[in-house]
Structures are given as C-alpha cells and as structure tokens.
Amino acid sequence: MTTKISRLVNLSMFKNEYSWGTAVKENTTDEFHQKFDTALNEVKNDLGKDYPIIINGEKIHLSEKYQVKSPADTNIILGRISNCSKAETKQAVDAAKSAFEEWRSTKYQRKAKVFKECADSFSSKKFHLAALLSIENGKNRFEAIGDVDEAIDFMRFYAYQLELNNGFEKETAHPNPDEKTKVTLKPYGVWGIISPFNFPSAIAIGMTTAALITGNTTVLKPSYYTPISSFKFVEEIYEKIPAGAINFVTGPGDVLGQALMENSDVSGIAFTGSVEVGMACYHKFIRDSVKPFVCEMGGKNPVIVTQFGNLDKAANGVLNAAFGYGGQKCSACSRVYVHKSIYAKFNEMLKNKTSNLKIGLPWKKEVFLGPLIHENAYNRFKKVLEIAKRDGEIIVEGSMLEGPEFQNGYYVQPTIVSQLPHDHELMKDELFLPLICINEYDSFDKVIQLANESEFGLTAGIFSENENELSKFFDKIEAGLLYANRDSSATTGALVQIQPFVGWKKSGITGKGAGGENYLQQFMRAQTQTRCERINE
C-alpha cells in the first residue's frame, strides 16, 4: 500500500507541458498568440543558414548539401543541410560504438539530469521551436506547439521513469537466505533512430531520449524533409554527454536508413514511419541475428457514430481527427461508420463544417489546415481524388487549391467520399491525406467487425451515449488507443503518461506504448545477478 502511494506521489511530479490547453484554461490565449507571433518573426529573420551534421561530438559541414524548403511556400528556404552518404553513417556508428562504454557506465541520476535540463531549456524556447516547426513541416501553430510540448514531455517523463525505477535495478527475494539476487536492466549498445516527417520534434526526440537515457548510444537519422527541428535537440544535448553518444546524419532515407540496417555494430533500431518501409527494414535488420527493433507504423483508424451519439460532437470529433494536419498523422481518422438512421443528417453536418475550414499559411492564427508535406503527397492526393470520384459518391469534393496564398505550397481542400466497398483500396490503405471514407451501417455487432477488419490497429473512436455500446466498443476493438465521445478529436491527440501510444497489428511491433511505463524497458535487456554469501558461517 505504502509503495503504491509513494509511486503515485512520484508520478504526480510529472506534469504535461500542455501549452495551448493551459492557455485556454487560464484565459491567456492572447498572450499565447503574441508569444508565437514574436517567435515567428525571430525565426523568419534567421532562415537560410547552413546546418551541420554531428559525428563524435563535432559539427561537420559536408560540401554536398540540400535545401530544406517549407511545404507552405517553397520559396522559403529554412536552411541548407549536409547530404550524407553511407560513409558518414558508418563513421557515426563507429563513434557511437566508441562512446558506449563511458555513457553506459554514467550514473543514471546524471543521465536523468541531462534530459530534465534539456526539457527545461526546450520549454523556455518552445514558441521559437514551434514557429520553426510550423514553417518546416506545415503544422498550424496549435499542432506545432503540441509537437514541441510532446518532445518536452518525453524527456521529462522518461527521466522520471528512470528515477522512479532506480535506474531499473532491483533486488529480488530468494527463499534461500544465502543467495542474494538482483535484476538489472542493461543497455544493448548502438541504436539507429529513424523518424518520420510528421513529428520531427516529438517522435525524433522521444525515441532518441529513450535509447540514450537507458545507456545506449545513438545515430539519429531524421526525415529528409524535416531535419532542422530534430537538429535543435541534438545541438542542445551533444556537448552534455560523451562525444559520440549522440550522432546526427541527414540525407536520403533509403541510403542512410539502409546503412544502419546493414551495419552489424548497430544493436537496435527504433523506427517510426510507414508500414512499407518499417516492415522492409525489420526483415532486413533481423535477417541474420536476433536484435530489438522497436517499431511504430501506420493506421487506418475508424470512428463509429451511433444513433445514440451527440451528432454535433461527433462531427467536430471526426473533422478534427480526419483533417487536423491534413490527415498526416498515424492516428488520423480515415474511415467513418454512421448508423443508417442518422447517416444523412450526420453527413450534412460534416459537410458544412468541412466546407468552412480555414486553409492557408499554417503559422497564421486563424488557420486550421496548412499544406501537405511535399509534391509526392500532393500528386497522390490528385490521384486518390480521381479514384474516389470514379468509385464512390462524393460528399465533399476536394481540390488542389490555387490563388496567391497557395501557389507556392502543396494546399488541398479535404475530401469526403461515401459508398465505397469495404475492401476498396481507399478503405484499406493508409492514405495519409485529408480524405475520409464514410459508410452507413445497421448492426452494432457488424460495425465492430468492420472496424476491426484492417491490417492496422492504432486508434479508434466512437460517439454513443449508450453504455452497452460503449462497453462492447472498449471490449472488442482491436487497436491500441480508444476514445469515446471526444469532440476535440475522435482519434488523435494522446498525451504522454496519460495515454501511452500503442500500435496493434501492423501499426506497431512491440505492443508497448511510447510515453508509457513500459516503453523504456524495450531499450534494455535484463541481467539477473546472484551472489552466494554463507551468512551463517
């Protein structure tokens, strides 16, 4: 009982950063906007710089560089960054290998301190980091600060976890008093960290922190499109830990990512990205050996709206989950099942709300939806729209946006399509675009089955005030995060510690959630140590 209470007390020491939510609660939203606008001006005055890679504690500028452009306006060059090859990736792994002994044997209290200090430093400049991120990957200001907040949360939460678990070392009680036993979790060695474009702060930092704080050394390879937000973290921390403990390489994902998969000195991989790339990497990495591969992948997340749900709440929840950041979230809602008795009414409400969404430069205060991440996504949207028109019934017909504000970015109007067959490619494949498929249903048991018939299992939502339906939903749905009646977003927006982020099926490999109590243990292996002491002699 005492242990349980002290554990709760300790856990309550962790507090989510939660910037926008706090501003709303404390009635300080004007101040929030003013801070963001000031930071935006600072960032705009600081664009176009050269960014280095970092290997063995040294900043290195390669002569071959590429430009990092804003998807909101490709005339905005955030900076120029080195275009690495397999050779630099190998150097980074070598450096991480050399640094392992010193970092692994550093006391856990010291490791926790480094990350708590880094989190505090990030917190003090979070508006600056969020403004940069908004320009880099096109998130609106609320989503951008959420991304940075989550990175801060990961650093603080993993530090607290490490302290709470005494560095993951504990004595076990042996029935023979002559034997003293303890179990200690130890790091593996060098980890490759491969992160996606859509959370260049939170996910890149979350995975790297988990690997490092548990005593491993790392090579971070961020997304080709969004390296600068991730660089900000490496720049903050690399001089506070042994040279080579964190290395940072940038360039094409297939070249650098494959160099990590092929290098036998890499002991573990933390990957977040698409199922295609993730599964290919997984098979390659473990082909000739047994090594940990912590992997989070895509989703095809369903929402069920029943005749017992509040329709206005449901329409808001679906709208925010489906079109927030243009559907470019693994947790985005992409399939909606509506009871036939309310189907027409719900569609009308969703249509009206969708048509009124404010689309534009993402960093502007009033904008809900910014651009897609790159030309490929933009062209994919065009193609998918044609397929939707050919095979379904269009409720809202999206388009490629034109006009002065849109001409240099990848802006599209969201699309809602209905009546596609259950096994249609748009109903099955992760699109990662602002397009949702809506269908009607008549039996609750059947709709649960339809929701589960997906190779993915990340998030799911329901709108119903009926207790039987809610308990069946929580009992039967095969996904890692379930939400009921959440109008702020039906399927997205998990908070560190409170809502560990778990992928089932092809959405994730380990069944342990990022930001949860079971996450850090994946970066370590247990060792049981027994000493015989003849205490009666």
Cα distance between residue 209 and residue 214, in whole Å: 8
What is the secondary structure of 375-390 as a DSSP string?
HHHHHHHHHHHHHHHH
In the set 146, 189, 392, 503, which binds ligand NAD (CB under 6 A)? 503
Tokens standing for 283? Answer: 């098979």
* Residue 71 beta carbon to ligand NAD: minimum distance, rounded to whole angstroms: 12
What part of residues 108-167 is at the interface with ligand NAD (CB under 6 A)? none
CA angle 158, 164, 165 (to 5 degrees): 95
* Residue 285 beta carbon to ligand NAD: minimum distance, rounded to whole angstroms: 10
Helix or strand run (H / E) with residue 138: none
Cβ–Cβ < 8 Å for 359, 328: no
Q: Does 274 bind ligand NAD (CB under 6 A)?
A: yes
Tracing tokens 């979350």 back to the chain, one arrives at 206
Residue of 17, 143, 296, 440 with catalytic role: 296
* Residue 371 beta carbon to ligand NAD: minimum distance, rounded to whole angstroms: 15
Q: Does 196 bind ligand NAD (CB under 6 A)?
A: yes
Tokens standing for 8? Answer: 């709760």
* Residue 278 beta carbon to ligand NAD: minimum distance, rounded to whole angstroms: 6
In the set 140, 223, 415, 418, which binds ligand NAD (CB under 6 A)? 223
In the set 51, 191, 325, 432, which binds ligand NAD (CB under 6 A)? 432
User: With respect to ligand NAD, which residue has the nearer C-beta, 206 or 244?
Assistant: 206
What is the secondary structure of 2-22 as a DSSP string?
HHHHHHHHHHTT-----HHHH
Give the interface segment with ligand NAD, choosing from 128-136, 166-174, 268-276, 521-529 (CB under 6 A). Answer: 268-276
Determine whether 84 is an active site residue.
no
User: With respect to ligand NAD, which residue has the nearer C-beta, 69 or 221?
Assistant: 221
Determine whether 330 is an active site residue.
yes
Cα distance between residue 36 and residue 40, in whole Å: 6
Give the interface segment with ligand NAD, choosing from 162-170, 241-249, 267-275, 378-386 (CB under 6 A). Answer: 267-275
Non-local (6+) Cβ contacts of 471 within 8 A are none
Picking from 268, 245, 220, the residue whose alpha carbon sits closest to that of residue 89 is 220
- 393 φ, ψ (degrees, to nearest 5): -105, 125
By CB under 6 A, the count of residues binding ligand NAD is 31
Q: Does 330 bind ligand NAD (CB under 6 A)?
A: yes
Give the interface segment with ligand NAD, choosing from 33-41, 194-202, 433-441, 489-497 (CB under 6 A). Answer: 194-202
Picking from 491, 507, 53, 97, the residue whose alpha carbon sits closest to that of residue 275 is 507
Cα distance between residue 180 and residue 196, in whole Å: 45
User: With respect to ligand NAD, which residue has the nearer C-beta, 188 or 271?
Assistant: 271
Cα distance between residue 288 and residue 284, in whole Å: 8
* Residue 273 beta carbon to ligand NAD: minimum distance, rounded to whole angstroms: 3
In the set 145, 281, 319, 420, which binds ligand NAD (CB under 6 A)? 281
Residue ranges binding ligand NAD (CB under 6 A) = 194-199, 203, 221, 223-224, 253-254, 257-258, 272-274, 277, 281, 296-299, 330, 430, 432, 458, 501, 503, 507-508
Q: Catalytic site residues?
A: 296, 330
